Structure formats: C-alpha cells, structure tokens
C-alpha cells in the first residue's frame, strides 16, 4: 500500500497504523487505519476479522473507501 493519504484537516501526510485485538472466543480483529501525526485525526482504511470455527478459519475483509482528494 503506497497510496499517500492526506489529512482532511491540515493536509499533512497520514501514516498507516495497524491495531489488533483478540476476543475471548478466539476471534481476531485487525484494523488498518491512517493517522495524522500532527492532529491525531484517524481514518479507518481496512478491517480484517478472523473467526475460528470448528476446524474452519473464516476471514472477513472490509475495505473502507477513501473520500476523493
């Protein structure tokens, strides 16, 4: 992912950060989001959810469309 995303507030280049959390039932959620290092504005880019069933691993991927500009 090399697309440069600018902060809608101040126009600074936003950085891509990865956060993940693990739920008690084994589900793992990972979020890719853009964060402005100057003002802290956050923009969710992509969400990946991995659910563990009975011998089955289910992956759900949600991509948040970026606003134009």
Angstrom distances, CA of residue 22 to CA of 2, 29, 50, 68, 69: 27, 6, 10, 33, 34
Among the listed ranges 8-16, 19-27, 44-52, 59-67, the one in contact with Zn ion (CB under 5 A) is 8-16
Question: Are 52 and 32 within 8 A, CB to CB?
Answer: no
Among the listed ranges 17-25, 26-34, 35-43, 60-68, the one in contact with Zn ion (CB under 5 A) is 35-43
What token pair was written down for 14? 């936003």
Candidates 28, 29, 33, 41: give the one binding Zn ion (CB under 5 A). 41
Sites of contact with Zn ion (CB under 5 A): 7, 9-10, 36, 38-39, 41
């Amino acid at each position: 992912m090399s697309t440069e995303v600018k902060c809608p507030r101040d126009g600074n280049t936003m950085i891509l950060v990865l956060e993940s959390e693990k739920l008690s039932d084994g589900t793992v959620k990972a979020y890719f989001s853009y964060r402005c290092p100057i003002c802290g504005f956050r923009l969710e880019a992509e969400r990946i959810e991995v659910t563990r069933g009975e011998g089955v691993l289910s992956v759900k991927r949600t991509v948040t469309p970026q606003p134009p500009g």
